[in-house]
Structure 1
Amino acid sequence: MQNLQIMIVEDEYRIRVGLERFINDQPQCTIIGTYANGQEALDGWKHGKAAEVILTDIKMPIMDGLTLITELKEAGYTGEFLVLSGFDDFQYVQQALRNQVADYLLKPIDRKQLQDRLQLLYVKKQEMEQELERESQKQEQLQLLRALSDESSLADTQWTEIFPSGTYYTCRLQLQNFHQQKVKRDPVRFHQELSAVVRILNAELSKQWSASSFWWWWDQEQSFGLLVHTAEGNTSKIIDHLVRTLSHRSFFNVTASPGQILHELELLPAAMEAEQMEIKLQPVSAEVPYTETINVNIQNILHTLRFAFKQFVFDDLDTALKQLKEGLSAAESLESAIAILQSAGIEMLHDVSKRLPVNDVNRMLQKLGRNTNQALSAPEVLQGFENWTRDLAGMCTKLDKHSDLAAVEQAKAFIHHHVQEAITIEQVAAHVYMNPTYFCAYFKKHTKETVLQYVTKQRLELAKRRLEDTDDKVTKIADSVGYHDHKYFSKLFKKHTGFAPSEYRRLRR
Structure 2
Amino acid sequence: MKNFRIIIVEDEYRIRTGLERFVSNLQHCEVIGTYANGQEVLDHWNADKPADLVLTDIKMPIMDGMTLIHVLKEAGYAGDFLVLSGFDDFHYVQQALRNKVADYFLKPVDREQLKERLLQLFEKHLEREQKQKAKSQKREQLQLLRSLSGESSLADTQWTELFPQGSYYTCRLQLVDFHQQKAKRDPVRFHQELSTVVMLLEDELSKRWSESGSWWWWDQEQSFGLLVYTHDESKKDIDHLAKALSHRSIFELAASPGQLVQELVMLPAVLESEQMEMKLMPEKQYGESIGACNQVTLQKLRLAFKQFSFDEMDAILYSLEKEMSAERQQVILTLYQSAGIEMLHDASKRLPVAHINSMLQKLSGNLSGSLTVPELVQAFENWTKELASICIRLYRHRENTAIEQAKGFIYHHLKDALTIEQVAAYVYMNPTYFCAYFKKHTGETVLQYVTKQRLDLAKHLLEDSDDKVIAIADAVGYQDHKYFSRLFKKHTGLSPSEYRRNSR
**Aligned match of 2:265:** 266
SS of structure 1 residue aligned to 2:219? strand
Which residue number corresponds to residue 385 of structure 1?
380
Q: 1:448 to 1:75 in 2, by over 3 A?
A: closer
TM-score by length of 2: 0.90
The separation in 2 between residues aligned to 1:46 and 1:311, in whole angstroms, is 79
Following TM superposition, by how much is the alpha carbon of 1:101 offset from its aligned partner in structure 2, in angstroms? Answer: 1.9
**Is the aligned partner of 1:506 residue 2:501?**
yes
Q: 1:302 matched to which residue of 2?
A: 298
Matches of 1:10 and 1:508, distance apart in 2 = 61
User: Are 2:73 and 1:73 aligned?
Assistant: yes
CA distance in 2, matches of 1:385, 1:218: 35
Q: Is the 8 A contact 2:8 2:56 kept in 1?
A: yes
Say if 2:9 and 2:16, in contact at 8 Å, map to a contact too: yes
Is residue 312 of structure 1 aligned with residue 270 of structure 2?
Answer: no
- How far is the alpha carbon of 1:292 from its aligned partner? 4.4
Q: Which runs of 5+ in 2 are unaligned?
A: none
Residue of structure 1 equivalent to 2:192:
192
Alignment of 1:98-497 (within 5 A): 98-233=98-233, 235-282=234-281, 285-295=282-292, 297-331=293-327, 333-404=328-399, 406-497=401-492
Query: Which residue identity lines up with residue 229 of structure 2 in the other structure?
Result: H
Could you tell me how far 1:308 is from its partner in structure 2? Answer: 1.4
Quick one: structure 1 residues 6 and 487, their matched pair in 2 at CA, closer, same or farther if it must change by over 3 Å? closer
| Equivalent residues of 1:459, 1:481 under 8 A apart | yes
Q: Summarize deviations over 1:17-42 as a string: whole Å, max 9, x none.
A: 54333222212223344455xxx225
**Structure 1, 187-196 or 432-441: larger mean CA deviation:** 187-196
Distance 1:42 1:325 in 2: 93
Write the letter of the residue equivalent to 1:48.
W
Code of the residue aligned with 1:218 in structure 2: it is W
Code of the residue aligned with 1:339 in structure 2: it is T
| Alpha-carbon distance between aligned partners in 1 of 2:68 and 2:460, rounded to the nearest angstrom | 69
Counterpart amino acid of residue 156 in structure 2: D
Contact 2:4–2:122 under 8 Å retained in 1: yes
Query: Percent sequence identity over matched residues?
Result: 64
Shift of 1:279: 0.8
Given that residues 149 and 269 in structure 2 are in contact (C-alpha distance below 8 angstroms), is that contact kept between their aligned partners in structure 1? no
TM-score, normalised to structure 1, is 0.89
How far, CA to CA, are the matches of 2:64 and 2:94 in structure 1? 15
Give 1:122 deviation, angstroms.
Answer: 0.7
Amino acid at match of 2:127: E
Would you say the 8 A contact 1:422–1:482 is kept in 2? yes
**1:433–1:100 CA distance, 2 compared to 1 (3 A):** same
Cα distance in structure 2, aligned partners of 1:74 and 1:161: 37
2:48 equivalent to 1:48: no
SS at match of 1:379: helix
**Cα contact 2:38–2:65 (8 A) shared by 1:** no
CA contact (8 A) 2:39 2:63 kept: no
Q: Give the whole-Å Cα distance in 2 for the aligned partners of 1:60 and 1:165.
A: 53
Amino acid at match of 1:312: F
In the TM superposition, residue 281 of structure 1 has moved relative to its aligned partner by: 0.8
Task: Answer whether contact 1:405 1:446 (CA < 8 A) is retained.
Answer: no
Is the 1:81–1:103 contact (alpha carbons within 8 Å) kept by the matching residues of 2?
yes
Tell me, in whole angstroms, the C-alpha distance in 1 between the residues paired with 2:116 and 2:329.
Answer: 82
Separation in 2, partners of 1:428, 1:9 = 64
- After superposition, the Cα gap between the structure-2 partners of 1:275 and 1:15, relative to the gap in structure 1 and judged at 3 Å, is same
Counterpart CA distance in 1 for 2:33 and 2:449 is 58
SS at match of 1:293: coil
C-alpha distance in 1 between matches for 2:194 and 2:39: 46
Q: Distance in 1 between matches of 2:172 and 2:325?
A: 39
The alpha-carbon deviation at position 387 of structure 1 amounts to 1.9
- Specify whether residues 290 and 73 from structure 1 end up closer, same or farther in structure 2 by C-alpha distance, changes over 3 A only: same
Q: Is the 8 A contact 1:42 1:72 kept in 2?
A: no
Deviation (angstroms), 1:48: 0.8
Question: 1:52, CA displacement in angstroms?
Answer: 2.6
